[in-house]
Copies of this chain bind each other. A is one copy, B any other.
Amino acid sequence: MIKVAIGVDIGGTNTAIGVVDKDGTVLVKGNILTPGHGDIHKYIEELSTAIHELINSLKKLNKDIDIMGIGIGAPNANYYTGNIEQAPNLSFKGVVPFIQLLRAKFPDLKALAITNDANAAAIGEMIYGGAKGMKNFVIFTLGTGVGSGIVVNGDLVYGHDGFAGECGHTVLVPNGRLCGCGGLGHLEAYCSAPGMKRTAFELMAKYNDTNSELANYNFHELDSKIIFEAAEKGDKIALEVFEMTGKWLGQGLADTAHHLSPEAIFLFGGPTAAGDFIFKPTIESMEKNLLATFKNKIKVLPSQLKRGDAAIVGASALVYKELEK
C-alpha cells in the first residue's frame, strides 16, 4: 500500500495535476485547461474526471495506493475559507467556494485543502524538501511575480484572514518602479524575472552600452534565462543585473529576517537557476543589512523541490500538513 497525495496547481491558462508519493516523487501527472469554462461547476467536473483518470491509470498498473487527500495551489486562494477570492488572472470571477465544490465530488477523502502557490511551496519544502525538521523558515518564489510563504513554530502563517505572506509587495524603493499591483517600488518590481529584465534595460540606458549581448533583444524578448547565459559569458550588463538584483533581494530578505528571525530563507524559481550569480550578491546584501545579532546565522538556500514538478508537489504536501491536525 503506497500512500499518495494528489497535488493540483491552478495557473491562469493551465491546471497541472499529479499523484505524489511520500518522498515527493510524482508517480503520474496530467493537466487540463483552466480558462474557457462557462462556469466553475464545469471546471470542477473536468478536474474531478482528470483526477479519477490519474488514479485509475495507477490502479491499472496494479499499484496498491491509499489516497490521503487533495491539495490545491491557486492564486488568491484562502486556506481558512477554502475559497478562491477575486483572482485577477483566473477565468472564474468573484468568490469561488472551491473546497466546498470539490468536496461534493470527493466526499470520502480525508483531507482537502487549498492555499496560494507560494504557501504550497513552503509546505512542500517542509514535507519533502530542504526545510525538513525546520520550525522557522521562509520561502521566496521568484517568477513572473514574487511570492512568499512563511513558517513559524512549524506552522504556515496565514494571518487573521488567510492572506499573509505577501513579502513581494513590501516597499524596497520609496516611489520606485511601478509594480504589477499598482504600488510603487515593491520588491516584486525589482527581483522577479521581469524585474531583472527591467534592470537590464535601465543599465543599458545608463551606460549606453551597445557591446552587451543584451542589446540584441527587445523588451518582449529579453528574459532572465538570456541574462543568465550572457552573465556566464562575462557580459558586463548581465553581471551587473545580478549584482543589483541580489542587492535589492538581500535588502528585502533582511527586512523579513528582522521580522521573523528564520533559520533559513529558501529561494525558488527561474532566476535561482543562475546559482552563485544570484545567491552571492543576495547573501552579501542581506548580511550587510542585518543587525549584529542576526549576522551569519540565517541560511539562504536554493529550494530542494524539483523545478518542473514543484507546484504540484508543493500543493500535494498540504494534505500531510492537514492530516497532522
The answer to whether residues A136 and B160 also contact, given A170-B258, A183-B291, A255-B170 and a CB cut-off of 8 A, is yes
Q: What is the CA–CA distance of A172 and B259 in the complex, to the nearest angstrom?
A: 14
Contact indicator A181/B292 (Cβ below 8 Å): yes
Contact indicator A262/B159 (Cβ below 8 Å): yes
Give the A interface residue count (CB, 8 A). 45
Minimum CB–CB distance for A205 against chain B, Å: 20
Contact indicator B260/A157 (Cβ below 8 Å): yes
Specify which of B157, B159, B251, B291 is in contact with A166 (CB 8 Å cutoff).
B291
Q: Does A153 contact B (CB under 8 A)?
A: yes
Q: Does A254 contact B (CB under 8 A)?
A: yes
Q: Does A14 contact B (CB under 8 A)?
A: no
Q: Does A163 contact B (CB under 8 A)?
A: yes
Q: What is the CA–CA distance of A152 and B153 in the complex, to the nearest angstrom?
A: 9
Contact indicator A160/B254 (Cβ below 8 Å): no
Minimum CB–CB distance for A289 against chain B, Å: 7
Contact indicator B262/A259 (Cβ below 8 Å): no
Q: Does A102 contact B (CB under 8 A)?
A: no
Q: Does A231 contact B (CB under 8 A)?
A: no
B-chain residues with CB within 8 Å of residue A150 when the two chains form the complex? 259-260
Q: Does A27 contact B (CB under 8 A)?
A: no
Residue ID in chain B nearest A138 by CB atoms = B259
A residues sitting closer than 8 Å to B (CB atoms) are 76, 85-86, 134-136, 150, 152-153, 155, 157-167, 169-174, 181, 183, 251, 254-256, 258-263, 289, 291-294, 297
Residue ID in chain B nearest A255 by CB atoms = B170
Contact indicator B152/A254 (Cβ below 8 Å): no
Could you list 26 examples of A-B contacts with CB < 8 Å? A85-B293, A152-B152, A153-B155, A157-B259, A159-B261, A159-B262, A160-B261, A160-B262, A160-B263, A161-B261, A162-B261, A163-B293, A163-B294, A166-B261, A166-B291, A166-B293, A169-B258, A169-B291, A170-B255, A170-B259, A171-B251, A172-B174, A174-B251, A181-B291, A183-B291, A256-B259
B-chain residues with CB within 8 Å of residue A152 when the two chains form the complex? 152-153, 157, 159
Minimum CB–CB distance for A93 against chain B, Å: 14
Q: Could you list 12 further interchain pairs (A-B, Cβ under 8 angstroms) beyond the known A153-B157, A161-B297? A: A86-B292, A134-B160, A150-B260, A152-B153, A152-B157, A153-B155, A161-B261, A166-B261, A167-B259, A171-B251, A183-B289, A256-B259
Residue ID in chain B nearest A292 by CB atoms = B181
A134, A159, A183: residue with the most chain B Cβ atoms closer than 10 Å: A159
B-chain residues with CB within 8 Å of residue A165 when the two chains form the complex? 259, 261
Minimum CB–CB distance for A168 against chain B, Å: 8
Q: What is the CA–CA distance of A161 and B160 in the complex, to the nearest angstrom?
A: 25
Q: What is the CA–CA distance of A303 and B53 in the complex, to the nearest angstrom?
A: 56
Q: What is the CA–CA distance of A228 and B289 in the complex, to the nearest angstrom?
A: 32
Q: What is the CA–CA distance of A111 and B86 in the complex, to the nearest angstrom?
A: 47
B-chain residues with CB within 8 Å of residue A162 when the two chains form the complex? 261
B-chain residues with CB within 8 Å of residue A76 when the two chains form the complex? 293
Q: What is the CA–CA distance of A289 and B166 in the complex, to the nearest angstrom?
A: 12
Q: What is the CA–CA distance of A161 and B85 in the complex, to the nearest angstrom?
A: 36
Minimum CB–CB distance for A148 against chain B, Å: 8
